[in-house]
């Protein structure tokens, strides 16, 4: 009797476990396949952009302004300069308040202001970039009466702010408490401790955070559509040369650089891609290639750097 | 030789000042608090500015601006604006992309946190993050010229042939699918690719923060690996994962450039996924710079206001959910 039961139980168990084993193996391999599926677009995009854009890439693409349609050659110097100017402006606007807010968030996370700060950082990072563009249009472009690089820089700065606050806060929190205590015990004031002990200790990580934030913001188009607008004849070199020739002060020259519409690489890409001319579309692939190279380089280098530092700290 | 430290006499004004500002700490704190409050002021003023600047449009159209109608008109020539087609387009494309992105992201997150060998985890993480680093316009460019004709058109035609024939649901898949692939379906596909990294990253963190005792207990009871993932880990992290999904939804709602490039930008009174459409973000991107009449630009700002409130609400819900999980997780979480 007992042996019969045991046989039945054994048989059922093995049948059940075959089904369960199958489900297990099947679902686990599905997760692996989904991972591969999600990464296909990445390689597809990068590969295709390199293939399409690479053929047009040459030195004049980086050193010349656009030429009229039908004229051979020409480049996107205006957009490259514009992207650099906009990124600089955005960094100037976003980094100081971002770092200060991060100091507050890491030092006093549980005060009412700290909690509100974290919450508003989260909300700000969720606001669509086009809405930020509208906002900056309303507060800057409308009162000033014209589109400008300054407004574009502010829009990009607002976009960068949450990223900067978050990464800086993370890095500041990683600094060992003993450093702070040691500095305070030596009689240094709180601000002195923060600026000359804690900040330098976290600086490497903070810099990578800045770079990643800038790389992200430099690829954005939507906030620039009605702030920086775009300007095919933007040329920092000639503004500076004219300024020097007319003996203008450096502030005048800087003012003229940021006070007019400015182009950027993603903005140029968007405009060119919408035109029906094969030439322009070809150029938009090349712009995409330049953008991708810049952004991928920043991303990969910073990550390698972070990883190397993590290893060296652990080892 | 000991250097004499110069001290100021008692009651000297500089010494008194130093003491009242606690050697610089009070100005320092004021600066920190000012920077922190700045962020809050920014968020509030975005809402307020958009609210103020859309006053006329709000007064003129009232709730009709937002309510579902089948014959909504967006007519800059006669200054009559109703935003329902865009709201519908945004909701439809975002929900469709969420439906596709959630299983994929869950799969990747499970693979990354539970299955893959240690050495593969970091490179995979990088690759998924690179997917998020590619600019939106590059997605758009690749979408129009490669992805839409190669993938979306065949898929759309297939859906039209099969599900499109079923009554009721068929309305969502009514054709004909444009040959170029420019459609809401195309936008949904592109959005899927773009929000997968967001959902994956948060879900992976949620899974990694589940204590090992949960896994061990379930395996010790005889569950297979999959059963312990499906019946123990996912329910354990459910509200965090829901938060991840909502964050992804928020990103999909606000995504502008890629969607504008692939959705076709046409105002048709159709419900179908397979036809071109408009989203709230893409109407702003397309028309705001050329809006001549005051009412037109106000109506567009009101669309932006609606978008702002939608993402605000979603973010509040998502953060609340993620925060609830984070609070519940004990200290023995895995690294």
Same domain, B151 and B297: yes
- List the single residue in B with minimal CA-CA distance to A120: B40
The residue range of the domain holding B36 is 13-53
Smallest Cα distance from B110 to chain A, Å: 7
Tens digit of each residue's pLDDT (9 = 90 or more) over B139-155: 999 999 999 999 999 99
| pLDDT band, residue B270 (cuts 50/70/90) | confident
Same domain, B283 and B201: yes
ipTM score here?
0.91
- List the single residue in B with minimal CA-CA distance to A115: B36
B221 phi and psi, to 5 degrees?
-80, 0
Integer Cα distance of B184 and B164 in angstroms = 15
CA–CA distances in Å: residue A97 to residues A157, A162, A221, B28: 10, 11, 23, 13
Of B46, B126, B315, the CB nearest to A303: B126
Is the Cβ pair A189, B130 closer than 8 Å? no
Is the Cβ pair A221, B136 closer than 8 Å? yes
Is the Cβ pair A35, B108 closer than 8 Å? yes
Chain B residues with CB-CB distance to A46 below 8 A: 134
Is the Cβ pair B312, A123 closer than 8 Å? yes
Integer Cα distance of A189 and B28 in angstroms = 10
pLDDT of res. B335:
37
Would you say residue B288 lies in a domain?
Answer: yes
Give residues 3 to 22 of A whose Cβ lies within 8 Å of B. 20-21
B226 touches chain A (CB under 8 A): yes
pLDDT of res. B18:
79
Question: Residue A288 in contact with residue A269, Cβ under 8 Å?
Answer: yes
Would you say residue B7 lies in a domain?
Answer: no
Smallest Cα distance from A55 to chain B, Å: 17
The two three-digit tokens of residue B122, written as one number? 């970091």
Is the Cβ pair A48, B142 closer than 8 Å? yes
Give residues 277 to 306 of A whose Cβ lies within 8 Å of B. 281, 284-285, 288, 291-292, 295-296, 299-300, 303
Whether residue B40 is predicted with pLDDT greater than 90 in this model: the reply is yes
pLDDT of res. A315:
57
Is the Cβ pair A299, B36 closer than 8 Å? no
Is the Cβ pair A113, B45 closer than 8 Å? no
Question: Residue A224 in contact with residue A86, Cβ under 8 Å?
Answer: yes
Whether residue B331 is predicted with pLDDT greater than 50 in this model: the reply is no
- CATH of residue B92's domain is 1.10.3720.10
Same domain, B218 and B274: yes
A103 touches chain B (CB under 8 A): yes
B163 touches chain A (CB under 8 A): no
Same domain, B48 and B148: no
What sign does the dihedral A53-A56-A58-A64 (CA atoms) show?
negative
List of residues 6+ apart from A292 with CB closer than 8 A: A46, A49, A50, B134, B135, B138
Q: Where are the alpha helices (H) located in chain B, listed in sequence order?
A: 13-20, 25-53, 55-61, 84-110, 118-133, 136-142, 153-162, 184-208, 212-220, 225-228, 234-236, 238-254, 257-262, 280-287, 294-328
Would you say residue B5 lies in a domain?
Answer: no
Give residues 211 to 240 of A whose Cβ lies within 8 Å of B. 215-216, 219-222, 225-226, 229
Tens digit of each residue's pLDDT (9 = 90 or more) over A164-188: 999 999 999 989 999 999 999 998 8
Tens digit of each residue's pLDDT (9 = 90 or more) over B225-263: 999 999 999 999 888 899 899 999 999 999 999 999 999
Would you say residue B335 lies in a domain?
Answer: no
B139 touches chain A (CB under 8 A): yes
Mean pLDDT of chain B, nearest integer:
89
Smallest Cα distance from B286 to chain A, Å: 9
B120 touches chain A (CB under 8 A): no
Would you say residue B100 lies in a domain?
Answer: yes
Same domain, B93 and B37: no
Rg of chain B taking only CA atoms, in angstroms: 26
Query: To the nearest whole percent, how much of chain A has pLDDT over 90?
Result: 63
Same domain, B33 and B181: no
Tens digit of each residue's pLDDT (9 = 90 or more) over A53-108: 988 888 888 888 888 887 877 889 999 999 999 999 999 999 999 999 999 999 99
Same domain, B148 and B100: yes
Integer Cα distance of A172 and A167 in angstroms = 9
CATH of A75-314, one of 1.10.3720.10, 1.10.10.10, 3.40.50.12780, 3.30.420.40: 1.10.3720.10
Same domain, B46 and B79: no
Would you say residue B234 lies in a domain?
Answer: yes
Would you say residue B32 lies in a domain?
Answer: yes
Would you say residue B294 lies in a domain?
Answer: yes
Same domain, B32 and B163: no
B134 touches chain A (CB under 8 A): yes
Integer Cα distance of B236 and B243 in angstroms = 13
A97 touches chain B (CB under 8 A): yes
| pLDDT band, residue A3 (cuts 50/70/90) | low
Chain A residues with CB-CB distance to B253 below 8 A: 128
What total number of domains does chain B contain? 2
Average pLDDT over residues B260-270: 87
Task: Report the run of H or E that residue B74 belongs to, with start and end.
Answer: strand B74-75
Same domain, B130 and B244: yes
pTM of the model: 0.91
Is the Cβ pair B315, A123 closer than 8 Å? yes
| pLDDT band, residue B332 (cuts 50/70/90) | very low
| pLDDT band, residue A9 (cuts 50/70/90) | low
Same domain, B22 and B74: no
Chain A residues with CB-CB distance to B53 below 8 A: 138
Same domain, B259 and B310: yes
DSSP per residue, A175-235 = S-HHHHHHHHHTT--HHHHIIIIIHHHHHHHHHHHHHHHHHHHHT--GGGTTTTB--TT--
- C-alpha of A219 from chain center: 7
The separation between the first and the last C-alpha atoms of chain B, rounded to the nearest angstrom, is: 54
């Amino acid at each position: 009797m007992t042996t019969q039961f045991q046989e039945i139980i054994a048989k059922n168990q093995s049948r059940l476990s075959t089904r369960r084993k199958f489900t297990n193996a099947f679902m686990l391999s599905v997760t692996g396949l989904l991972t591969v599926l999600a990464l296909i677009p990445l390689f597809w995009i990068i590969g295709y952009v390199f293939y399409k854009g690479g053929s047009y890439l040459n030195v004049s693409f980086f050193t010349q302004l656009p030429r009229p349609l039908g004229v051979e050659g020409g480049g996107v110097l205006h957009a490259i300069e514009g992207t650099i100017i906009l990124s600089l402006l955005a960094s100037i606007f976003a980094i100081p308040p971002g770092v200060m807010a991060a100091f507050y968030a890491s030092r006093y996370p549980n005060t009412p202001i700290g909690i509100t700060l974290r919450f508003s950082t989260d909300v700000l990072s969720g606001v669509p970039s086009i809405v930020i563009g509208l906002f900056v249009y309303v507060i800057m472009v409308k009162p000033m009466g014209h589109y400008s690089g300054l407004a574009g820089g502010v829009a990009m700065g607002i976009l960068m702010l949450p990223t900067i606050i978050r990464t800086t806060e993370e890095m500041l929190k990683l600094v060992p408490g003993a450093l702070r205590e040691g500095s305070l015990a030596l009689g240094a004031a709180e601000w002195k401790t923060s600026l000359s002990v804690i900040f330098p200790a976290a600086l490497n990580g903070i810099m990578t955070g800045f770079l990643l934030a800038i790389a992200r913001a430099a690829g954005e188009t939507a906030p620039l559509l009605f702030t920086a607008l775009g300007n095919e004849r933007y040329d920092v070199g000639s503004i500076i040369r004219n300024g020097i020739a007319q003996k203008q002060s450096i502030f005048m020259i800087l003012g003229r650089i940021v006070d007019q519409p400015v182009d950027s690489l993603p903005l140029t890409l968007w405009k060119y891609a919408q035109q029906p001319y094969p030439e322009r579309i070809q150029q938009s692939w090349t712009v995409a290639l330049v953008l991708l190279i810049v952004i991928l380089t920043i991303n990969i280098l910073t990550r390698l750097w972070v990883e190397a530092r993590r290893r060296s700290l652990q080892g | 030789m000991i250097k004499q430290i110069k001290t100021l006499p008692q009651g000297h004004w500089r010494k008194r000042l130093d003491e009242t500002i606690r050697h610089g700490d009070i100005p320092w704190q004021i600066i920190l608090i000012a920077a922190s409050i700045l962020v809050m002021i920014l968020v509030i003023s975005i809402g307020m500015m958009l609210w103020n600047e859309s006053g006329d449009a709000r007064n003129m159209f009232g709730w009709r601006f937002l309510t579902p109608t089948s014959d909504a008109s967006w007519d800059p020539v006669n200054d009559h604006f109703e935003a329902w087609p865009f709201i519908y387009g945004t909701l439809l494309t975002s929900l469709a992309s969420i439906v596709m992105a959630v299983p994929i992201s869950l799969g990747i997150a499970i693979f990354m946190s539970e299955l893959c060998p240690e050495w593969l985890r970091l490179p995979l993480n990088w690759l998924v993050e690179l997917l998020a680093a590619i600019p939106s316009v590059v997605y758009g460019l690749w979408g129009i010229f490669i992805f839409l004709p190669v993938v979306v058109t065949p898929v759309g035609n297939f859906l039209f042939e099969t599900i499109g024939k079923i009554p009721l649901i068929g309305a969502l898949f009514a054709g004909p699918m444009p040959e170029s692939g420019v459609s809401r379906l195309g936008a949904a596909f592109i959005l899927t690719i773009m929000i997968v990294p967001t959902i994956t990253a948060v879900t992976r963190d949620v899974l990694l923060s589940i204590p090992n005792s949960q896994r061990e207990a379930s395996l010790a009871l005889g569950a297979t690996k999959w059963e312990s993932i499906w019946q123990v880990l996912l329910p354990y992290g459910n509200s965090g994962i829901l938060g991840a999904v909502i964050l992804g939804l928020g990103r999909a709602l606000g995504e502008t450039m890629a969607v504008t490039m692939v959705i076709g930008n046409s105002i048709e009174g159709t419900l179908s996924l397979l036809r071109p459409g408009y989203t709230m973000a893409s109407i702003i991107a397309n028309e705001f710079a050329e809006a001549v009449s005051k009412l037109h630009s106000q109506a567009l700002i009101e669309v932006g206001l609606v978008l702002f409130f939608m993402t605000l609400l979603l973010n509040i819900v998502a953060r609340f959910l993620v925060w609830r999980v984070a609070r519940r997780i004990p200290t023995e979480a895995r690294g």
